[in-house]
Structure 1
Amino acid sequence: MSAVLPPAADGDGRVSVSLAELLAQRARAARKPLPLRRSRAAPAGPQASRVHGRGMDYAESRAYQPGDDVRRLDWRLTARSGKLHTKLFQEEREGRLLVLLDTHASMRFGTRARFKSVQAARAAALAGWLAVRAGERVGALAFGERRHLLRPQGSTRGALALCGAIAAWDADRAPASGAEPLSEALQRAGRLMHGASRVLLISDGLSADDAARGRLIDLARHTDVSVLIVGDALELASAPPGRYPLEHDGLRREVVLMGERQRRDFQLALGAGQARLAALAHSLNLPQRIVDTTADPLDAVAALLAGTKAGA
């Protein structure tokens, strides 16, 4: 389903993704303060693992053992105890963010400002720029009508690759793969994470099925999972009384919404996906945010990457 909007060229940032706009998010992300975050799985930037080796973060000291690097001797503790002690450090590892991007046909819908698919692309690009700025690698997995994997890459190159891939997926007019339940997408993500320390799911929730709960639980055992729910104004709140032109599969119709109950029922039906995914994330205590197509997603994305739960 897609709302009737005035004709526009491809890549206009309204009904189709504009690569230039995704690239421009870099400057906005650069001005956003990066919150400190210590993740259960692996934090942003250089990641501290439990492996004791050579690195920048001191872990602890222990009695000297044959073969220890003498350059790592803890001279202060050695002097106090009278016995040789060695400093142990936490090995540094890069964090990796995997963006799960919903590309179902339902994302190509919008009655205000832009389609959900365009808003999702903007949010994904912001996540990429924020992640690489924090020293992480970033990759993406498209699910739904487009099923692609962009392997995580670091530095500016990673964010550029992410933006390019998202724009290409949106512009692809090849035959669609069809619907993909969220549970199957999550199962794919579990197999293709490539060491991702966290996952950001961006979706309107319409693909969320009963089996998605178990898949999310499995995924959350190995990585930090957060959820960004994208919705249109008609999906997130009752519409004002009026007549609304809608288009689906090339067929245009006008929906007349006048009575309060009629408008409420319409919103509940149209916004079922967002409500279902929000309830699922809440039940699993996953950080989540909801943005409509008119909002600036920067604060929501930054909060999710910081691990902040809704209402915190």
Structure 2
Amino acid sequence: MDTQELLKRLRRIEIKSSRLSEDIFSGAYRSAFKGRGMSFSEVREYQPGDDVRDIDWNVTARYARPYVKVYEEERELTMILLVDISRSEHFGTVGMTKRQRVAEIAGTLAFSTIKNNDNVGVIFYSDRVEKYIPPSKGHKHVLTILSEILSIEPEGSGTDISVALRFAHNVQRKSCTLFLLSDFIDGSDYAKTLAVVRNKHDLLAMQVYDPHEAELPMVGLLRVKDAETGEVRMIDSSSKSVRKQYRDYWQELTVKLRETFSKYNIGYASVSTSEDYVPRLQRLFTHPRI
């Protein structure tokens, strides 16, 4: 992508994201996620009406009666975007690539954050952490983030979400909101890492996929290439059994994602590049838990 094209895309995303962050998320931002902007203060005995998610199980076990964690509000909040820039994100058949859609969503989140005078940072990852931009404020900072999302190329050849989660957990010592953006085409087991990170930070996830990843088009023989391994295959998309296998794989992936995020009480949404992402993002802000 040349500089002129990058600036055009950056400007389009800036205009759209700024409008959405102002019109849609203003007012809902600070109350969106449980625990966001709150630091641990003390523990006290459980009282009727307390959120069971606040129970401190270690203290509860020690005294044989339930105790809950008490939090106090911090003046500044921090959001860290975990952005998948693996090679599979360049795929796109309907108007835009997954990477471009991720940039729009990230832009909306970033502008929402700075409009509330809070900090936003980003971790770019593939099968390794490719780049880290520490949390900061300001319009120029968000434009830097968007420019990187559109232009950065991964050195890694695969995807490993657990690497990004561990890095975020270690680099961000204070509790914050982590927003995971990916197509979740990841063969590694990152569930245990989710559990560890979720104990310290608020964690939300949004899957961005291409419609033809969910449903194979019937166009006869197709030459397909795995963007991350480079493997090339010929498949017969006119075959009902081939399309069924393809559909079944996608449904299994979708079910697994929902079950995983539900198990750890992590807000999750999924959107294709052909859909309007705004309603899904809105729901994560207003109903962050599954």
Instruction: Say whether the fold is shared (TM-score over 0.5).
Output: yes
Superposition TM-score tier, normalisation by shorter sequence: 0.7 to 0.9
- Corresponding residue number in structure 1 for 2:279: 299
Counterpart of 2:158 (choices 160, 171, 179) is 179
Counterpart of 2:134 (choices 130, 148, 151) is 151
Matched residue count = 254
TM-score under structure 2 length normalisation: 0.74
- Corresponding residue number in structure 2 for 1:41: 35
What's the CA shift for 1:41? Answer: 2.6
What's the CA shift for 1:208? Answer: 5.2
Which runs of 5 or more residues in structure 2 are unaligned? 43-71
Moved more, 227-236 or 160-169: 160-169
Over the matched positions of the two proteins, sequence identity in percent amounts to 17
Structure 2: how far apart are the matches of 1:137 and 1:306? 20
What's the CA shift for 1:209? Answer: 2.1
- Corresponding residue number in structure 2 for 1:225: 203
Q: Secondary structure at the match of 2:162?
A: helix
Structure 1: how far apart are the matches of 2:78 and 2:171? 12
Contact 1:200/1:225, CA 8 A, preserved across alignment: yes
**Structure 1 residues 136 and 273: alpha-carbon distance in aligned structure 2, compared to 1, 3 A threshold:** farther
**Structure 1 residues 193 and 21: alpha-carbon distance in aligned structure 2, compared to 1, 3 A threshold:** farther
Structure number with larger C-alpha Rg? 1
What's the CA shift for 1:27? Answer: 2.1
TM-score under structure 1 length normalisation: 0.69
Structure 2: how far apart are the matches of 1:218 and 1:282? 15
1:189 aligned to 2:168?
yes
Per-residue CA deviation, residues 138-157 of structure 1 (Å, 9 max, x unaligned), is: 11001106610011112434
Which runs of 5 or more residues in structure 1 are unaligned? 1-7, 52-89
1:141 aligned to 2:118?
no
Structure 1: how far apart are the matches of 2:256 and 2:2? 34
Amino acid at match of 2:88: S
- Corresponding residue number in structure 1 for 2:192: 214
Contact 1:229/1:278, CA 8 A, preserved across alignment: no
1:1-312 equivalence runs, <5 A:
18-24=9-15, 25-34=17-26, 35=28, 37=31, 39-43=33-37, 50=41, 92-144=74-126, 147-169=130-152, 172=153, 176-193=155-172, 195=174, 197-207=176-186, 209-210=188-189, 212-236=190-214, 238-243=215-220, 245-248=222-225, 255-269=235-249, 274-310=254-290
Structure 2: how far apart are the matches of 1:293 and 1:139? 24
Contact 1:152/1:158, CA 8 A, preserved across alignment: no
Per-residue CA deviation, residues 74-105 of structure 1 (Å, 9 max, x unaligned), is: xxxxxxxxxxxxxxxx6642110000001111
Amino acid at match of 2:105: A
Q: Secondary structure at the match of 1:147?
A: strand
- Corresponding residue number in structure 1 for 2:57: none
What's the CA shift for 1:289? Answer: 0.5
Amino acid at match of 1:241: M
Structure 2: how far apart are the matches of 1:275 and 1:243? 28
Structure ranking higher in helix proportion: 2
Contact 1:206/1:274, CA 8 A, preserved across alignment: no
Structure 2: how far apart are the matches of 1:246 and 1:114? 20
**Structure 1 residues 142 and 196: alpha-carbon distance in aligned structure 2, compared to 1, 3 A threshold:** farther
Contact 1:49/1:92, CA 8 A, preserved across alignment: no
